[in-house]
Amino acid sequence: MSLNYDQAIEKYEPTLGLEVHVELNTKSKMFCGCATEFGAKPNTQTCPVCLGLPGALPVVNKKAIESTILIGLALNCSIAPYSRFARKNYFYPDMPKNFQTSQYDEPICTNGYLDVEIETDEGSKSFKIEIERVHMEEDTGKSLHVGGNTGRIHGADYSLLDYNRAGIPLVEIVTKIIPKTGKYAPQVARAYVAALRDILRGLQVSDVKMEQGSLRCDVNLSLSRVGSGKLGTRSETKNVNSLRSVERAVTGEIIRQSDRLEQGERIIQETRHFLEESGQTRPGRSKEQAEDYRYFPEPDLVPVVPDSKWIEELKKTLPEKPADRRKRLQSAWSVPDKEMAAMVNAELLDTVEQTVLLGADATKARSWWLGEISRIANDRNVFPTDLISVKDVAEIIALIAKGELTDKLARQVLEGVISGEGSPVDVITKRGLKVVSDDSQLMKAIEDAIAASPDTAERVRGGNIPAAGALIGAVMKATGGQADAAKVRELLLKHLGQ
Amino acid sequence: MSAISRDEVANLARLARIAMSDAELDHLAGEMDVILGAVARVQEVASKDVLATSHPLDVSNVVREDLVVASLSPTEALSGAPASEDQRFKVPQILGEE
Ligand SMILES: [Zn+2]
């Protein structure tokens, strides 16, 4: 019988392990001076070193080492005083050298941790994710498979290789096993990758664009019977390319593995591929026969021996930790926990902060970005900042603060800016959206409203203030909503002796 | 006892994609055994605080600044390729999946 997620989690305890590969944003490759630009024409960024031509000599990119040390420091790792590169030998055309230069038993950073927080029905929960190692390696080329897809060597089948990506610095960040996350395993996995991405972004060492593959996650997962204390056999799901997919891949594997176990089958140690459409995984190469990469120290590269002075200098450049920054902003803006979490989840914290830095009130900035703008962005399936610039939003908020726009008018201005009618001021001018603040013009509308409903006016004169609502409504209607309601109320009550 | 068996040599040959006849395996297993025996003698005198050598010179931290230099042109890059198509290296598909 198949178990649903809740049943599966009641019976089985998931154990996670996450491997994240991040492409560094260096200008040149790891071991040669070729450019690293994304999307360049095929094989325009290669040289004898990254093509593995005989006699070529690799030299390590200093910035790549420094970026890796920074990542290690930000993840509370120890920085190894002595670290070496190794050759990982394998035969697959994505590496022209027939090996990938990586690090094996001497990684540059070890034993760190990252605290992640998740929101649950029982309040927020914190998990300490232990980091096993952070090491340097190089990315592989891109293959384009042409022909049939029988999965066998066929005369008609061939692959086309572009080595522009081969040799781009890659950092692999591997967690220790993450036990005891229980039903929160999918959320914890997602929160970890999100927290890691925020740190990498803050360090400015990578573009961290999951959709472009500059940040990729492999999810290891095993199940064990609750209380058995034994680790199960794990599967490794490759190249999960969005935060949502990380969460779905974990959920999907928990259900798939529990299903197998329920049927009395065993879990095969294998590589699986995440299927974006269904949220399920399909098997890849089986790892039943452990892969033997015949690692050995790379003889063409010398050891990396970072002295304490170098590390101290790098430490000084570490930015504020994302978690600390969040706490600081939350208290500066007096934002409740839930709203703060919403802002972080919507990835709008930076945007709101930039808007506030341009003078906008924090609450207003938050409500515009997360409210109206996010709503339109969702409808169009784009990111809010694709619709409108921070500067324009700050300007609209400033105009509201000055009383030149009401919220209602501001929404029209927003719509105008989004549909390309120019800056907020341009839209106001073109659409004639200024607040009616000219007192004499307002007074005329107020007098008209009183004349039209003398009984109501009489009640207000008699002290029935709530009755004024109907008159205010009439004035707003007469001015096409362009009057400031507070101002109308003030003038009206004064006029009626209140 | 030999340091390396014939089966291990056969496995290494398979991993390195080197086709070897039975006679060659017999021959090489014996030779490699002699080489490994010599290495074992060296290891006997190496104390634990001696790091394994990966480079003949005692140098470290040889690095380059993150500067872009000119790459090969695609024509140059592909000039040694047995086959190419669409400015890409054309290779037989050796592993079906992925
Ligand atoms: Zn190169």
Give Cα B23 distance to the centre of its chain. Answer: 23
**Amino acid identity, position A365:** A
CB contact under 8 A, A45 and B71: yes
Q: How many angstroms separate the alpha carbon of residue A370 from the centre of ligand 1? A: 44
> Which of A157, A282, A302, A313 would you mutate first to test chain B, the one with the most B CBs within 10 A?
A302
- Work out whether strand A235-240 and strand A78-79 pair parallel, antiparallel, or are unpaired: unpaired
* Residues 6 or more apart in contact with residue A130 via CB below 8 angstroms: A111, A112, A113, A175, A176, A178
**Residue A64 backbone phi and psi in degrees, to 5:** -65, -40
Residues A129 and A256 in one domain: yes
CB contact under 8 A, B63 and A285: no
Residue with tokens 């994609």: B17
pLDDT, tens digit, for every residue of A139-153? 999 988 887 654 444
**How many Å apart are CA A403 and CA A118, to the nearest integer?**
40
Among the listed residues A166, A151, A186, the one whose alpha carbon sits nearest the alpha carbon of residue A284: A151
pLDDT of A156 > 80? The answer is no
pLDDT of residue A154: 44
**How many Å apart are CA A440 and CA A168, to the nearest integer?**
69
Out of B69, B70, B93, whose CB is closest to A157? B93
Residues A26 and A150 in one domain: yes
Instruction: Choose the final residue of a domain: A313, A332, A357.
Output: A313
Record the tokens describing residue A106, joined without a space.
């001497």
Domains observed in chain B: 6-45 (1.10.20)
The three-state (H, E, C) secondary structure of chain B, written as one string: CCCCCHHHHHHHHHHCCCCCCHHHHHHHHHHHHHHHHHHHHHHHHCCCCCCCCCCCCCCCCCEECCCCCCCCCHHHHHCCCCCEECCEEEEECCCCCC
**How many Å apart are CA A35 and CA A37, to the nearest integer?**
6
The alpha carbon dihedral of A388, A390, A394, A397 has a sign of positive
Confidence of residue A422 (pLDDT cuts 50, 70, 90): very high
pLDDT of A258 > 80? The answer is yes
Confidence of residue A485 (pLDDT cuts 50, 70, 90): confident
Residues A398 and A448 in one domain: no
Tell me the pLDDT of chain A averaged across its residues: 90
Between the CA atoms of A78, A305, A192 and A190, what dihedral angle is there, to the nearest 10 degrees?
A: -160
Residues A164 and A54 in one domain: yes
Q: How many angstroms separate the alpha carbon of residue A49 from the centre of ligand 1? A: 5
pLDDT of A50 > 90? The answer is yes
Count the alpha carbons within 13 Å of A87 in the hemisphere toward its beta carbon.
17
pLDDT, tens digit, for every residue of B67-83? 999 999 999 999 999 99
Instruction: Please count the structural domains in chain A.
Output: 3
Residues A122 and A270 in one domain: yes
Residues A166 and A226 in one domain: yes
Q: Which of residues 54-93 of B touch A (CB under 8 A)?
A: 54-55, 57, 59-74, 77-78, 80, 85-93
Residues A489 and A395 in one domain: no
> CA of A100, closest CA in chain B: separation in Å?
15
Residues A386 and A307 in one domain: no
* Residues 6 or more apart in contact with residue A55 via CB below 8 angstroms: A48
> Which of A66, A88, A160 would you mutate first to test chain B, the one with the most B CBs within 10 A?
A160
Confidence of residue B98 (pLDDT cuts 50, 70, 90): very low
Give the highest mean pLDDT range of A172-181, A232-241, A394-403: A172-181
CB contact under 8 A, A33 and B89: no
Residues A214 and A337 in one domain: no
pLDDT, tens digit, for every residue of A405-418? 888 889 999 999 99
Instruction: Choose the final residue of a domain: A313, A338, A365.
Output: A313
- Work out whether strand A123-138 and strand A142-146 pair parallel, antiparallel, or are unpaired: unpaired
Q: Residue A355 sits in which domain range?
A: 320-431
In this predicted structure, which of A155-169, A300-314, B25-39 has the lowest mean pLDDT?
Answer: A155-169
ipTM comes to 0.88
CB contact under 8 A, A158 and B92: yes
> CA of B89, closest CA in chain A: separation in Å?
5
Out of A93, A147, A292, whose CB is closest to B91? A93
pLDDT, tens digit, for every residue of A83-129? 999 999 988 889 999 999 999 999 999 999 999 989 888 888 999 99
Residues A335 and A289 in one domain: no
**Residue A56 backbone phi and psi in degrees, to 5:** -75, 145
Using an 8 Å Cβ cutoff, are A100 and A57 in contact? no
* Residues 6 or more apart in contact with residue A157 via CB below 8 angstroms: A145, A146, A147, A148, A149, A150, B92, B93, B96
Instruction: Choose the final residue of a domain: A313, A348, A377.
Output: A313
The three-state (H, E, C) secondary structure of chain A, written as one string: CCCCHHHHHHHEEEEEEEEEEEECCCCECCCCCCECCCCCCCCCCCCCCCCCCCCCCCCEEHHHHHHHHHHHHHCCCEECCCECCEEEECCCCCCCCCEEEECCCCCCEEEEEEEEEEEECCEEEEEEEEEEEEEEEECCCEEEEECCCCCCCCCCCEEEEECCCCCCEEEEEEECCECCCHHHHHHHHHHHHHHHHHHHHHHCCCCCCHHHCCEEEEEEEEEEECCCCCCCCCEEEEEECCHHHHHHHHHHHHHHHHHHHHCCCCCCCEEEEECCCCCCEEEEEECCCCCCCCCEECCCCCCECCCHHHHHHHHHCCCCCHHHHHHHHHHHHCCCHHHHHHHHHCCCHHHHHHHHHCCCCHHHHHHHHHHHHHHHHHHHCCCHHHHCCHHHHHHHHHHHHCCCCCHHHHHHHHHHHHCCCCCHHHHHHHHCCCCECCHHHHHHHHHHHHHHCHHHHHHHHCCCHHHHHHHHHHHHHHCCCCECHHHHHHHHHHHCCC
CB contact under 8 A, A43 and B77: yes
Q: Other C-beta atoms within 10 Å of A478: how many?
A: 18
Out of A152, A158, A305, whose CB is closest to B90? A158
Residues A408 and A303 in one domain: no
Using an 8 Å Cβ cutoff, are A255 and A8 in contact? yes
pLDDT, tens digit, for every residue of B33-64? 999 999 888 888 877 777 777 777 888 999 99
Residues A412 and A443 in one domain: no
Region A15-36: what's the mean pLDDT?
97
Q: Which residues of A touch B91 (CB under 8 A)?
A: 93, 158-161
CB contact under 8 A, B71 and A47: yes
> CA of B8, closest CA in chain A: separation in Å?
12
Q: Report the CATH number at residue A446.
A: 1.10.10
